[in-house]
Amino acid sequence: MLSVNSFFDAVGEPIGKHGGEILKFIGDGLLAIFPMDRKEACMDLIAAVREGYQAASRLWLQDDHVRFGLGIHLGAVNYGNIGSRHRLDFTVIGSAINRGFKLEALTKRLRRPALLSQEFVDTAGCHAQTERLGSHMVDGIATSIEVYALRLESPGSGVTFG
C-alpha cells in the first residue's frame, strides 16, 4: 500500500497545483478532471502530466513495480451523486470518461505512458509536444480513434518516451 499511496502523492500534487481535481481513486489508478472554464486548462493538464510523470519516474528508481499509464480525452460529462439509496458517490460519467479509460488501456499495448485523443490535441494545440500514433480500435467503441503520445522525459535515465 505504501507504494500506491506514494504514487498517488507523486501524481496528485501536480494535478491540484495546475487546477485539476482528483475525483476518486480506483484500485491503483485515479480519475481526475480539469474543468474547461479557463482558456489554459488543456496546457495546465499537460503541465500536470509532465510533473506527475517526473515524480512517478523518481519512484521507479526506488520501486520498479510502479507503472504510469494515462489516457486523456476532452468531452462533455455528466456529474453528480450516483448510486443506490444506501450509498451515493460523486462522480462523472459519459462517453468522454469511457474514451479516457480506453486510451489508458492502450498505454500497455502501445508502450507509451500518456496517450491523448485527437479532440484533446486539437483543442490544446499541442501537436508539437506529441507524436501521432495513428488510428486504433479499442474494445467497446465501434470506430477507430486517432491516438497521440505525449512526449515525456524520464528523470535519471535521460530517456525520452514518445
Rounded alpha-carbon distances, angstroms, from residue 55 to 6, 10, 27, 98 = 10, 5, 20, 26
Q: In what order do the strands lie in the sheet with 70-72?
A: 70-72, 114-117, 145-150, 130-136
Instruction: Give the span between the Cα atoms of 68 and 90, in whole angstroms.
Output: 25
Measured CA to CA in angstroms, residue 132 lies from 43, 124, 136, 146, 148 at distances of: 18, 15, 11, 8, 4
Q: What's the total number of domains in the chain? A: 1
Per-residue confidence band for 109, with pLDDT thresholds at 50, 70 and 90: very high
The 3-state DSSP class for residue 152 equals strand
DSSP string, 33-87: E--TTSTTHHHHHHHHHHHHHHHHHHHHHH-TT----EEE-----EEEEEE-SS-
pLDDT of residue 81: 95
CATH of the domain at 76: 3.30.70.1230
| pLDDT tens, residue by residue, 12-70 | 999 999 999 999 998 888 999 998 888 888 899 999 999 998 888 887 656 555 677 89
Q: pLDDT value at position 114?
A: 94
Which range of residues forms the domain containing residue 20?
2-161
Length of the chain: 162
Give the pLDDT band (50/70/90) at residue 162.
very low
C-alpha grid cell for residue 57? 519516474
pLDDT exceeds cutoff 50 at 160: no
